[in-house]
Amino acid sequence: MTDHTLPDNPARRDFLYLTTGAVAAVGAGVTGWSFIDTMNPAADTLALATTEVNISSIQPGQSVVVTWQGKPVFVRRRTPEEIKSAQDVNVSELRDPQTDAQRVQAGKEEWLVVVGICTHLGCVPLGAKPNEPKGEFGGWFCPCHGSVYDTAGRIRKGPAPTNLHVPPYNFTSDTVIKIG
Amino acid sequence: MQQKFLLTLSFAALLIAAPAHAAPEAAPVKATVEGSAPAATATEGAAATDAASDATPAAPAPAADGNAMTKTDGDAQTMEADGKTAAETHGAAPAEEGGHHAPSLPQEEWSWSGPFGVFDRHQLQRGFQVYKQVCASCHGLSRIYFRNLSALGYNEAEIKSIAAETQVMDGPDDSGDMFERPGRPSDHFKSPFANDNAARAANGGALPPDLSLIVRARADGSNYVHALLTGYEAAPAGFTLTQGMHYNKYFAGHQIAMPQPLMDGSVTYEDGTPNTIDQMSRDVTAFLTWASEPNMEKRKQVGLKVMLFMFAFAGLMYATKRKVWKDVH
Amino acid sequence: MANANREPFENKFVEWVDSRLPVFTMIQKEYGVFPTPKNFNYFWNFGALAMVMLVTMIASGVILAMHYTPNAALAFNSVERITRDVNYGWLLRYLHMNGASMFFIAVYIHIFRGLYYGSYKQPRELLWIFGIIIFLLMMATAFMGYTLPWSQMSGWGATVITSLFSAIPLVGEGLVTWLWGGFSVDNPTLNRFFALHYLLPFLICAVVGLHVWALHVVGSNNPTGIDPKGPQDTLPFNPYYTIKDMFGLSIFLIAYAFLIFYAPTLLTHQDHFVPFNPMVTPAHIVPEWYFLPFYAILRSITFDFTIYLIVAGAAGAVLIYNYCWRKTPCEKTKPFFPALIAVAVIFGIPAVLLAFFKDVEALKGIIGMIPFAGVHLIEAKLGGVLAMFGSILLLAVLPWLDRHPVRSGRYRPWYRVALIAFVASAVLLGYIGAKPAEQPFITIGQLATLYYFGFLLVIVPWLSHNEPVAVLPNSIHEAVLAEKK
């Protein structure tokens, strides 16, 4: 009566406490996770996670901009000269050394697919449209801080640290690219 | 002792009182009249062109107008209320058994009822077929996306080809024009009409409601949909059916603008299931029940785990509580 | 400062924080060793349960708000998107919509416990009033939350309830337009309701803080209503009541989980799944179940307050004041009582005829002869609104209506019976509130309303002076021992 906190069988009581506490923690954890998971992309957002592009009407030297997961993606059909200039670069001199072959798919060297977001601070580089400046390396030019990319989307000049990101994509047929 | 009993009693009464209103209630017409004051207020301010015609249904009207009223009306909800009004004008109001939907609905056995109930995939696919070949010509199902069809057991390729059967408006393209393209899994079902007014114009003034939530938006929805689809019959003698209306024994007021949608053999099932009216309406009921809540099976699965966990936890808590309180005198 | 009395903690980090801000000392004092009467029954769980529900509602609500769009054109779709596409969005929605019901269940039982065991009595009047304020804020929050899915029930419920304010003389119409931000319930209304629905719960939290603070100043009541007299009457809050509350919570959550997973739409109406159409009122508008008793009181006032009703009511009020509220009638006014009774009867007859028998065919002739029948001070609509708000506000002054020296209903057999009947009348009103406004429901509702107010304004004051005072046990300890035998 005098002291209610004195247990008569400490071992069993501790075990019971521990079990109950652990079960409560699991319940709270699972509930908490379901709350957190609601903030992940929802089914309708995930359904738009891939984009299909019909490339049959793109002429050599032309490029199109498509939206993929809310970001611009440049799909460029390169001319033989552009491919050659991209392949002839001395890779060891590059800031982010990558060969042209690492940037395109084998047998489909004509097609360059890159995410159109400058790796410096997230601006969209110019050069996808005919009237836009392509920069001194014939690729893209970022108007924000002057980053210059070549015809393989590699960083050649300016503050950007890495090459333009190549998204996951595959050719579902000769005329359709599925990005994502 | 006596007071404990009284306490328990009042506690129980409180709990019982809770779902009291869940039971559908009678006499919608009276209730409409009661609600008509705010309705008028709302109409006043809204400068909608068809405000007058849409607001009229609250008041009972002669039979001839009854038809027009129903046709100008917003959605099935009001179509029912109107039908009711018309029926009462005819003095043919049925006994108020089921409340909101005057006639009581036959209670069917559904595979998805109960805490462990699940859908039958084959039935869902058949129901989808019925929807596509019969209902879809007038009723939208816009909250369902083609990607949702994976729940019916279709694989990705099948879903793609189903989606591609529909032409979807997209755009504007580079030249600023809208264009049509084949549907994708991320597109939702295309409604048969561009907007509600077009739907009314094409259906003699009545608006076929979107069916995405129809099972949830009607009391005892699954049974209601099934009963309605199988409830068409010839109007009994003495019942004056308004021009352009159809007699349905389960529709409140019995006058429905929708002609009987299902006849024996309306669709041909690939799996050889008999295509009777009853079977087809069961199948489409299953499909629409799924469409109203595509997460139902998931909800029950999670629920089972949660309930098992909660009972175990309550048991542990009880033991702990007993242990802690053991020494208290 | 308080730090002077502080006992140092062993854990270095805890001690570091506590010596700068003594939160751990406070928790220890208020929830650790806090002396709590040892004879609580399970009714004492519901305060903690209500608190858990408040937290649950805020947590689920904040996340729902991340997915919800407060725009008239998009709201319904965004709620359906939550239910269909968001990961566990269905769970979140069902948690929140059924959570409101569970919150009200917990609070109603909590209020009932307060009424039964006299927890509102001195010295807990302020504690009680904070409770009523929380209840009012909850009602406002729940009402505005119900509007957000922008369904038929949402839009029309909002229309009907906001239109109540149009009953206020002179400013009513302008007030309603101001509430709406337009000429009908529309996008501006939805937007401000969303903002307020997000704001009010935090206000509730603040008042709950005051409620708990006040509780910890005066201490908890208990089933005997007798104040603890020493350590033999109390237990430290932890572990005894933390564990007991946790056990109660686990049972409560089972009921909650059942609703969420197996009957998520049981307590809502099918018209809540039809998008709002301002041109078409659904055939049957009902509020959520927790509003039904008050909705029934609102609808029970079907009559204008004519001059006859006012005069008869005033005369009756003087008599009730003298015979029920006062221990003995006032000697000075006593000589006028026969005259007052005569006035009450003479004015009462036409008042009752006008109020309740207007539609009776046989009496139409007589009623037609009553002069000034059309003169009234309060219209039925305003009367209904006043009655509805009055029915809650009267509860706030209950500590002054009930002056009986014994707290607990356990030792007040007369009050107990009257209280159970009061609860029954509230339940009956809830049933009537779900029924259409037609006979016999109107009359039953009016009788239940009469008892609701009669209990608070006549029976409780009268019992204060006339119910025999029972002999109470000497202490909680003694009562507990007596019960065990």
Q: Is pLDDT larger for residue C161 or for residue B82?
A: C161
pLDDT reported for residue A11: 59
DSSP C246-307: HHHHHHHHHHHHHHHHH-TTTTS-GGGGSB--TT---S-----GGGHHHHHHHHH--S-EEH
Edge-to-edge strand order for the sheet containing A71-77? A63-68, A71-77, A111-115
Q: CA of B323, closest CA in chain A: separation in Å? A: 7
Q: Which of C380, C377, C398 is nearest to C452 (CA)?
A: C398
Write the single-letter amino acid at C366. Answer: I
| Digit-coded pLDDT (tens) for C371-409 | 887 778 888 889 999 999 999 999 999 999 999 999 999
Residues 6+ apart with CB under 8 A from C387: C297, C298, C300, C301, C449, C453
CB B140 within 8 A of CB B188: no
pTM of the model: 0.84
Q: Find chain B residues with C-beta within 8 A of C116's C-beta.
A: 7
CB B39 within 8 A of CB B48: no
CA atoms of A37 and A156, how far apart (whole Å) = 41
In the predicted model, is pLDDT for residue B47 greater than 50? no
pLDDT reported for residue A175: 86
**C404 part of the active site:** no
pLDDT reported for residue A100: 87
CA atoms of C93 and C353, how far apart (whole Å) = 50
Residue B127 CB neighbours (<10 A): 26
**C245 part of the active site:** yes
Phi, psi for B11 (deg, rounded to 5): -65, -45
Q: Which of C287, C96, C115 is nearest to C197 (CA)?
A: C96
Between B166-175, B184-193, C130-139, C177-186, the lowest mean confidence (pLDDT) is in: B166-175
Q: Is pLDDT larger for residue B23 or for residue C135?
A: C135
Phi, psi for A53 (deg, rounded to 5): -120, 130
| Digit-coded pLDDT (tens) for B224-245 | 999 999 999 999 988 888 888 9
Q: Is pLDDT larger for residue C198 or for residue A91?
A: C198
Nearest by CB to residue B30, choosing from C253, C279, C437, is C437
**A165 part of the active site:** no
CA atoms of B314 and B316, how far apart (whole Å) = 5
pLDDT reported for residue C67: 96
CA atoms of C477 and C227, how far apart (whole Å) = 11
Q: Which of C49, C182, A139, C269 is nearest to B28 (CA)?
A: C269
pLDDT reported for residue C306: 86
pLDDT reported for residue C127: 97
Nearest by CB to residue C92, choosing from A4, A38, A44, is A38
Asked if the C-beta of B186 comes within 8 angstroms of chain A's C-beta atoms, the answer is: yes
Query: Which pLDDT band, with edges at 50, 70 and 90, does C147 fall under?
Result: very high
Nearest by CB to residue A47, choosing from B145, B317, B319, is B145
In the predicted model, is pLDDT for residue C130 greater than 50? yes
Residue C35: how many CA atoms within 13 Å on its side-chain side? 10
Run of H or E residues at C334: none
Write the single-letter amino acid at C198. Answer: Y
CA atoms of B257 and B138, how far apart (whole Å) = 12
Q: CA of A143, closest CA in chain B: separation in Å? A: 23
pLDDT reported for residue C4: 58
Contact B29 C283 (CB under 8 A): yes
Q: Name the closest residue on chain C to residue A33, using Cα atoms.
A: C88
Between A11-20, A166-175, C303-312, the lowest mean confidence (pLDDT) is in: A11-20
CA atoms of C107 and C131, how far apart (whole Å) = 9
Asked if the C-beta of C254 comes within 8 angstroms of chain A's C-beta atoms, the answer is: no
Cα C409 to Cα B9, C102, C326, C391, C446: the distances in Å are 15, 26, 22, 21, 27
Q: Find chain B residues with C-beta within 8 A of A4's C-beta.
A: 327-328
For range B192-213, the mean pLDDT: 92
Q: Is pLDDT larger for residue C377 or for residue B218?
A: B218
Cα B13 to Cα B10, C98, C427: the distances in Å are 5, 19, 7
pLDDT reported for residue C159: 93
Interface of A with B (CB under 8 A): 1, 4, 6, 8, 12-13, 16-17, 19-20, 23-24, 26-27, 43-44, 47-48, 52
In the predicted model, is pLDDT for residue A1 greater than 60? no
pLDDT reported for residue B24: 38
Write the single-letter amino acid at C41. Answer: N
CA atoms of B118 and B296, how far apart (whole Å) = 8
Question: Which partners does chain B have (≥3 C-beta pairs < 8 Å)?
Answer: A, C
Q: Is pLDDT larger for residue B329 or for residue B148?
A: B148
